[in-house]
């Protein structure tokens, strides 16, 4: 009893503090830490959202309050205090940031240089106040014109809420409902921005869409919301992320990505994730708790997830496919690297509902130093999914003897007319392999890169060309110093 009343008191106290802060901070457009209905209303109002969306957010909040943070993943982290997070901050004043690259952590600059990132981009990534308008602005404008010609919509989701409310209303939350999971509910309540992409029927998007080119407000990273809809016979390839390590003051990231593919449509979604992984003791890294799901709603539709995960201190991520349409296909290709003290629990879910649906899972986990890498995947074949097929291959590669690899495949088959194959392997980079390479004149570090790239090849070939080259380079940089 005593404990309960104490909690009650603390809560009251916290809210009081909060209310006080709330009033003073309205002018500065940044909310003090804490979450309640007023905060959500404030965010919604700031974004100029219609009432239905405000209600939608509030509903999510109420659901979230009743949920508990999931702890089934094979990761460990201190308890997150959700009342200590600020859920809205207006675009940051650049004057607060470092004045020049000289003020930025030299380690970060070293990595940028290794990745060959031009100076101007380094400044933007590191948050240096730059006055000059950089090239991508003009690139983005011509880019928008070309897309508009084809009727493709690609804009911040907050803009889409105003410009295309009917589409947002129809599809938002239709793949990942507010009640889906703890982090998705939180995201639904407080998301600030993200991308919206719509490809009209029969249209092949004329270029690869990349978040990199999206003119956007800063600070959308924490609770990002992305929605991509491919109409009948449409095709789009979407690239998320960037190989450069990005620092962010927000430790918790809980994004939601929803994909909808109608009849004969195809969506390729590629991610290179390189959030700050923390230092060698795991301090300061990003917690990346993401819900990504695609619905193959139409017959013969196809969704491909390809991810290269090298960053974050903790990754909790399962890009999934709901194969509703007959003959629809879901694919998942993943490379997840855990070095330093990183923890990754990642995999996919393939839910077969339609007839003759097919799914392919290729997962490559790499663990080095004190990294822990877990593959967690579920293949569910419903009674209706006759003729369904799945092929899963989960390979783990260990570098050194302080790291770990774990595989948890779940299979759930409800009919007898389907076919499932699962292959798994764990291997260690052999001394003999390194010796063989060295005997040919290749240095130890290059030998490891060769072997790791060979291991990841099946996934890299699914990435768009340029991204694949960057991803390869990224792995090399991430693995530097992990041997010896």
Q: Which residues bind other proteins (CB under 8 A)?
A: 430-433, 435-444, 446, 450-451, 453-458
Min separation Cβ 205 and other proteins, Å: 31
Q: Which residue, 14 or 483, has its beta carbon nearer to other proteins? A: 483
CA distances from 17 to 11, 46, 288, 350, 402 (A): 10, 22, 29, 46, 45
Q: Are 342 and 371 in contact (CB under 8 A)?
A: yes
Min separation Cβ 422 and other proteins, Å: 19
Rounded to the nearest 5°, which phi and psi values hold at 231?
-70, 180
Min separation Cβ 433 and other proteins, Å: 5
Min separation Cβ 443 and other proteins, Å: 5
CA distance 18 to 38: 11
**Which residues touch 159 (CB under 8 Å, ≥6 apart)?**
196
Min separation Cβ 463 and other proteins, Å: 15
Q: Are 270 and 296 in contact (CB under 8 A)?
A: no
**Which residues touch 263 (CB under 8 Å, ≥6 apart)?**
232, 233, 298, 299, 300, 301, 325
Q: Which residue, 166 or 401, has its beta carbon nearer to other proteins? A: 401
Q: Which residue, 170 or 457, has its beta carbon nearer to other proteins? A: 457
Q: Which residue, 95 or 440, has its beta carbon nearer to other proteins? A: 440
Min separation Cβ 432 and other proteins, Å: 5
Q: Which residue, 121 or 458, has its beta carbon nearer to other proteins? A: 458
Min separation Cβ 162 and other proteins, Å: 48
Name which of 200, 202, 204, 201 is nearest 237 in CA terms.
Answer: 204
CA distance 125 to 112: 9
Q: Which residue, 112 or 455, has its beta carbon nearer to other proteins? A: 455
Q: Which residue, 85 or 335, has its beta carbon nearer to other proteins? A: 335
**Which residues touch 255 (CB under 8 Å, ≥6 apart)?**
187, 194, 223, 224, 225, 226, 290, 291, 292
Q: What is the DSSP string of 72-85?
A: -SS---PPP-GGGS
**DSSP 3-state assignment of 195?**
strand
Which residues is 196 bridged to in the sheet?
155, 227
Which residue in this structure is represented by tokens 């003759």?
356
Q: Which residue, 31 or 434, has its beta carbon nearer to other proteins? A: 434
Q: Which residue, 242 or 366, has its beta carbon nearer to other proteins? A: 366
Q: Which residue, 253 or 364, has its beta carbon nearer to other proteins? A: 364
Min separation Cβ 428 and other proteins, Å: 13
Min separation Cβ 193 and other proteins, Å: 39
Q: What is the DSSP string of 201-237?
A: TT-B-SS-EEGGG----SS-STTBEEEEEE-TT-EEE
Helix ranges, 286-404 (H): none
Q: Are 187 and 254 in contact (CB under 8 A)?
A: yes
Min separation Cβ 78 and other proteins, Å: 38
């Amino acid at each position: 009893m005593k404990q309960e009343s104490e909690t009650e008191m603390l809560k009251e106290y916290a809210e009081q503090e909060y209310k006080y802060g709330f009033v003073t901070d309205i002018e500065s457009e940044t909310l003090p830490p804490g979450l309640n209905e007023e905060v959500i209303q404030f965010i919604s109002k700031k974004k100029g959202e219609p009432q239905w969306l405000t209600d939608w957010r509030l509903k999510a909040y109420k659901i979230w309050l009743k949920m508990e943070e999931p702890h089934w993943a094979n990761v460990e982290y201190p308890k997150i205090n959700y009342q200590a997070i600020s859920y809205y901050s207006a675009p940051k004043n650049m004057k607060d940031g470092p004045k020049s690259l000289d003020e930025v952590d030299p380690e970060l600059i070293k990595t940028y240089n290794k990745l060959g990132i031009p100076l101007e981009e380094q400044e933007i990534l590191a948050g240096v106040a730059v006055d000059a308008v950089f090239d991508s602005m003009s690139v983005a404008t011509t880019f928008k014109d070309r897309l508009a010609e084809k009727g493709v919509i690609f804009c911040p989701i907050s803009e889409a809420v105003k410009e295309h409310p009917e589409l947002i209303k129809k599809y938002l939350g239709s793949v990942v409902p507010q009640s889906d999971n703890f982090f998705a509910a939180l995201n639904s309540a407080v998301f600030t921005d993200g991308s919206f992409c719509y490809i009209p029927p029969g249209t092949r998007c004329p270029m690869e869409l990349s978040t990199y080119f999206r003119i956007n407000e800063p600070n959308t990273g924490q609770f990002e919301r992305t929605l991509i809809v491919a109409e009948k016979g449409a095709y789009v390839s979407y690239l998320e992320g960037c190989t450069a390590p990005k620092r962010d003051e927000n430790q918790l990231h809980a994004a939601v990505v929803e994909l909808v593919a109608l009849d004969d449509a195809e969506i390729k979604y590629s991610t290179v994730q390189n959030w700050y992984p923390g230092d060698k003791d795991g301090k300061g890294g990003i917690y990346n708790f993401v819900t990504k799901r695609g619905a193959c709603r139409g017959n013969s539709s196809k969704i491909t997830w390809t991810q290269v995960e090298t960053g974050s201190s903790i990754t909790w991520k399962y890009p999934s496919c709901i194969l509703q349409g007959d003959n629809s296909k879901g694919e998942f290709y993943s490379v997840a690297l855990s070095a330093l003290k990183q923890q990754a629990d990642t995999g996919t879910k393939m839910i077969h509902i339609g007839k003759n649906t097919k799914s392919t899972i290729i997962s490559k986990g790499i663990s080095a130093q004190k990294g822990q890498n877990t593959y967690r995947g579920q293949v569910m074949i419903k009674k209706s999914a006759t003729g369904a097929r799945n092929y899963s291959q989960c390979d783990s590669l260990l570098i050194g003897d302080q790291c770990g690899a774990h595989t948890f495949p779940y299979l759930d088959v409800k009919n007898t007319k389907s076919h499932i194959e699962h292959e798994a392997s764990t291997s260690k980079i052999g001394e003999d392999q390194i010796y063989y390479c060295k005997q040919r004149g290749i240095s130890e570090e290059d030998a490891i890169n060769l072997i790791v790239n060979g291991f990841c090849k099946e996934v890299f070939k699914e990435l768009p060309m340029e991204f694949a080259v960057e991803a390869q380079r990224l792995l090399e940089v991430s693995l530097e110093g992990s041997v010896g």
